[in-house]
Structure 1
């Protein structure tokens, strides 16, 4: 917020007593961030509308402070890598280990040191679908390098879901245009990848790079499941994305599995083995 100096070269005290509430709203909207100088002025105004604006600004300021502190905390692994001389640090994570249908997706992201544009990036499971899509675009724009790759249903059945997840992550790393110097990986070291790695249990909530990778993987996989819904609408893939919800399991009981179902996963296998009584365990 800009203030004009008076004839003595001083900044005069802001007087909003004669301003209407809508005028004050417009004045506040013109400021890109919470102006600490306006807060005591608003606090002294007894009008209920002004007090609502004051409380809103206080909440926004405190939210911003908390978000900065959170970002500082989830950059500690990246900061530690940089203190060791690494600059190209890739976060790696997967999405889709648990569903009964569809591929497992993996993301790899190399973020710049300046990540202010990525406020709000968090474990993909903590975000709404709309927020994930919004952040995915911001991540792609800000990243030094990013990629997403898959392991198919056939590969999941052939290798098992753990090894298929490793395969998807290895593919995502290999697909990066910029070669990373070190990987921060959610959960486990990726076998066969000849780049220094650090496994972080629960990494999607502890590392910004891993959180960014989890968002890209989740958004890509959700998109694929929505495409599968167009082919097999009876299963509701657009809603549950292949996870074992009651709706999904009842659809399998009614229609049987389709080509994108993971036939080695227990509810699907139960149907194929004609042991439908096991389905009650998933309600």
Structure 2
């Protein structure tokens, strides 16, 4: 599978998807959603969906789909290769690769936009993409992010015609979510294994698991900090692990706020009292109201 559209510029998000099986356009379908790479401080987070007609659910449950974390890497690859080769009929999938840059920029917004909100919006974006592609989505199964009831209400408000099931560990309960989990995990693992650093990085192949508690990951962060520009784009700046290193070792910057307030502030009432504005109101048949009971 060609991942160069992302690997050529790892700072931008990228969508990968299968062709849409004709059967999924005509028959009511179930769709599962799961992600890979939520916790690591390194690399992208990948959201995936899988979908197939509801009437082939029993058949799909015999395809060895399981929570990707419970499968070996070889088994995940074997299943995903079968999917890509079209050996599983009436099966479609799609993944959205969220770059570390996107994750950091989203979490550093002035207005609150945390990882849960980003996850929700990405999941809803994939559902919408599937619908736009012509998939007849009737049921959706989601591995929950945050409180189940609130997430379900949010999804139902956006897609009122779809029946949603939101549950913890949905990837181990529903085969369609397990399949989405496998697609997301394989895509992320392949991207990590073939990551193209734009920066001059020390020991680019020795960063461990990418999780904050991994000693190799911590060493990678310590060894690849630029005191002015921070970390390579492989790193999620918004993670506390990265932030702590930046605060202790990076050069501190002070941002001066420019005062854009006009020198002579005028009260709004002056506009209404000004004789120069009389024609403005007269031409628009507007007049002052002092007694609301007369309206």
TM-score (norm 1): 0.59
1:270 to 241, 244, 250: 244
- Tell me which residue corresponds to 1:260: 234
- Count of equivalent residues: 190
1:205 to 167, 172, 193: 172
8 Å CA contact retained: 1:229, 1:236 = no
SS in structure 1 of the partner of residue 34 of structure 2: strand
SS in structure 1 of the partner of residue 194 of structure 2: helix
8 Å CA contact retained: 1:236, 1:248 = no
8 Å CA contact retained: 1:147, 1:173 = no
2:129 to 156, 175, 183: 175
Higher RCO (CA 8 Å, separation ≥ 6 residues): 2
8 Å CA contact retained: 1:136, 1:215 = yes
- Tell me which residue corresponds to 2:21: none
Q: Does 1:196 align with 2:163?
A: yes
Q: RMSD of the TM alignment (CA)?
A: 2.7
Report the alpha carbon displacement of residue 226 of structure 1 after superposing the two structures with TM: 1.7
Distance 1:237 1:169, change over 3 A: farther
- Tell me which residue corresponds to 2:93: 146
Q: Residue deviations 1:182-221, cap 9 Å, x none?
A: 2100114374541432101110111111010001011111
Q: Does 1:225 align with 2:192?
A: yes
Counterpart-to-counterpart distance in 1, 2:51 and 2:242: 37
Report the alpha carbon displacement of residue 138 of structure 1 after superposing the two structures with TM: 2.8
Distance 1:128 1:255, change over 3 A: same
Distance 1:275 1:255, change over 3 A: closer
Counterpart-to-counterpart distance in 2, 1:233 and 1:108: 35
Q: Residue deviations 1:203-262, cap 9 Å, x none?
A: 01111110100010111111221222665572437852x323211111111222311211
Report the alpha carbon displacement of residue 146 of structure 1 after superposing the two structures with TM: 1.3
TM-score (norm 2): 0.57
Q: Residue deviations 1:35-71, cap 9 Å, x none?
A: xxxxxxxxxxxxxxxxxxxxxxxxxxxxxxxxxxxxx
Would you identify which runs of 4 or more consecutive aligned residues in structure 1 move more than 3 Å?
A: 116-119, 188-193, 229-233, 235-239
Q: Residue deviations 1:74-108, cap 9 Å, x none?
A: xxxxxxxxxxxx94100111111101022211111
